[in-house]
Amino acid sequence: MLGPYPSMRHARLAFTLLMLLICIGCTSTPPTCLPGTHPIVLDSLYFGTTTPDGVVTEQEWQAFLTDTVGAEFPEGLTSWTGHGRWRNSGGSVAAETSYLLQLAHDGEEARERGLQRLIQTYKTRFHQKAVMRIRSQACRSF
């Protein structure tokens, strides 16, 4: 008779199964792409424009795209202007113009390092606390 508590062997088995179930949810598999399309990583970056000295101008943004983003991602990019709102730490709603950048790439480690460099460069150059990044898996075709 086992009594009210399971044996240590049962407890270990239950723990192992629980860990396996948790780990299954942690894996990221590329999307199943249709014929004629290829899996890619799509990074969307949101750059705030308010600085201690004013705002990041369109001319400054274009220079950043040319000298920093273009150096890291010479294959191309898409950029546009947006208008964002969020609740700040004080509880009030803040609004800010932002620059958005979308990069489609192979997801290799060199790309990750390039993304980190361009984010850090923007934060340093324009005195930003953060750059929001959304990464997703997608399929590409031409």
Residue 95 lies in a domain: yes
Residue 76: which domain range? 40-140
**How buried is residue 135: exposed, middle or buried, by Cβ count under 10 Å (0-12/13-18/19+)?**
middle
Phi and psi, residue 69, nearest 5°: -65, -45
Average pLDDT (93-112) is 95
Residue 102 lies in a domain: yes
Residue 11 lies in a domain: no
Residue 64 lies in a domain: yes
Residue 57 lies in a domain: yes
Residue 19 lies in a domain: no
* pLDDT tier at 5, thresholds 50, 70, 90: low
Q: What is the pLDDT of residues 72-81, one digit of tens each?
A: 999 999 999 9
| Residue 98: partners with Cβ closer than 8 Å, 6 or more residues away | 46, 47, 48, 49, 81, 82, 83, 84
H-run or E-run covering 72: helix 70-72
Amino acid identity at 98: S
More confident residue, 82 or 26: 82
* pLDDT tier at 88, thresholds 50, 70, 90: confident
Residue 116 lies in a domain: yes
CATH number of residue 132's parent domain: 3.30.70.120
Residue 53 lies in a domain: yes
What is the share, in percent, of the chain residues with pLDDT greater than 70?
Answer: 79
Q: Where do the DSSP E strands lie in 49-92?
A: 50-51, 54-55, 78-87
Q: What is the pLDDT of residues 8-65, one digit of tens each?
A: 665 565 656 555 556 555 555 667 899 999 999 999 999 999 999 999 999 999 999 9
Tally of structural domains, the chain: 1
